[in-house]
Structure 1
Amino acid sequence: MQLIENLKWRYATKKFDASKKVAQHHIDYIKEAVQLSASSYGLQPYKVLEIKSPEIREQLKPLSWNQTQITEASHLFVFCNTVEVTDKDVDDLMQLKAKTNNIPIENISGYGNFVKGKIKEKSAIEMFYWTAKQTYIALSNAITACATLQIDCTPMEGFDANAINEKLKLKAKGLNATVLLAVGYRHSEDTAQNQKKTRKTIDTIFEELK
């Protein structure tokens, strides 16, 4: 039940207290929650950039509609989806899977070939949006981890992805900036914290098919 209370507590923070920093062990907890995220075939086709440089964060701010969370939050993460998943990515996963479970790679080579075949069925645009969807699962885990720790965060789509891709040289890495996550502590002057959470009712969201 505590999880529900924590999710009721959280909100998309509009103004962070720049003087308050999140402890490293809490950041590590959030990172582990991301690392443990579910993904299709277990491929985790994304990378998360932690922007530590104040100078880079200042440069990203005008590319993100000048939102103050970019520079005032304790930490800023850029969740990037992998633009293309290759056979090597699948082979690397199978090797890791075999090593982790202490089984011969031959035992799962058939599954690896199956995954490669399914991935090859996707067009470039289908691949792009498929990996982006996986990235959002990881983002959701990070948001939930923050709520569990009662640390504030704000997921942000309000930015020029092409400009951020260019600024961070993501294209050369085969990555695309999907969504940002600002993490820190709310400012006492953030009026958004006093607003009641507005959500559809459970009966509206769920429908039973009998």
Structure 2
Amino acid sequence: MISTVVAPDQVLQQLNWRYATKKFDPNKKISAEVWKTLEQSLVLAPSSFGLQPWKFFVVDNPELRQKLVEHSWGQTQVVEASHLVVLAIKKDINDADVDHYIEKMSEVRQVPIDSLQGFSNVVKNFLKNPPVKLDEWAARQVYIALGQLMTAAAMLEIDTCPMEGFNPIKYNELLGLTEQGYSAVVVCPLGYRAADDKYAALPKVRFPTEEVVEYI
């Protein structure tokens, strides 16, 4: 029998426990230790080429979070949750971003930068001829990071609510993202569900496995 760090049934239990939390308990806060783990789940998220075309903005300012409610379709999770993360793409990714990444790779792996030239060329050629618009490609990477954040949160019994129901233009404006070269893609409040959130007890509605998974 192959041993695992976490029991398979425990993983499924936590994934079933997770739901898109509609109402958070504003009095319950994520501890610094747990938050550090969640923060690192974002830092460690995989991306195409490992390029990390993103930045994650944690909105701590209560007044700023209150201003975001009207630009979030009135969803109060953005103020009730313990933490609010705005996941954003880096706009206009270019060769300079690749060079920055290659320099970091050379430093971390302690290899000559010249030995990475071939890989650098591959990535730069991709940026010149992407299969989709670069902003769309970057957004896909952001969703990978979102998935990792939500899974890590579920394993720690931290509630989340991924949100696309917001006005990115207003978010960019209020948070000063545009001048930094970023644009909001998706928002994720994190915290602890309120005891009276009626959605917590609802069973998940999922199609049968055989309908969504096919072995070829």
Normalized against structure 1, the TM-score is what? 0.96
Find 1:193's aligned residue among 200, 206, 210. Answer: 200
Which blocks of at least 5 consecutive residues in structure 2 are unaligned? Answer: 1-7
Q: Which residue of 2 aligns with 1:71?
A: 79
Deviations 1:86-141 (CA, angstroms, capped at 9, x unpaired):
11110111111111111100111111011101111138x71110000000000001
Q: Which residue of 1 aligns with 2:59?
A: 51
CA–CA distance in structure 2, aligned partners of residues 55 and 67 of structure 1: 15
Q: Tell me the secondary structure at the aligned position of residue 187 of structure 2.
A: strand
Q: Which residue of 1 aligns with 2:125?
A: 117
1:101 and 2:109 are equivalent in the alignment: yes
Q: Which residue of 1 aligns with 2:3?
A: none
Q: Tell me the secondary structure at the aligned position of residue 133 of structure 2.
A: helix
CA-based RMSD: 1.1
Q: Which residue of 1 aligns with 2:173?
A: 166
1:15 and 2:31 are equivalent in the alignment: no
Which structure 2 residues correspond to residues 169-188 of structure 1 after superposition, within 5 A? 169-188=176-195
Q: Tell me the secondary structure at the aligned position of residue 65 of structure 2.
A: helix
Q: Give the aligned length.
A: 208
Which blocks of at least 5 consecutive residues in structure 1 are unaligned? Answer: none
CA–CA distance in structure 2, aligned partners of residues 164 and 202 of structure 1: 38
CA–CA distance in structure 1, aligned partners of residues 104 and 87 of structure 2: 23
Q: Which residue of 2 aligns with 1:206?
A: 213
Find 1:41's aligned residue among 41, 49, 52. Answer: 49
Deviations 1:147-190 (CA, angstroms, capped at 9, x unpaired):
01001111111001111111112111111110000000010110
Structure 1 window deviating more from structure 2 (136-145 vs 79-88): it is 79-88
Identity among equivalent positions (%) equals: 38
CA–CA distance in structure 2, aligned partners of residues 179 and 91 of structure 1: 27
Normalized against structure 2, the TM-score is what? 0.93
Letter in 2 for 1:95: E
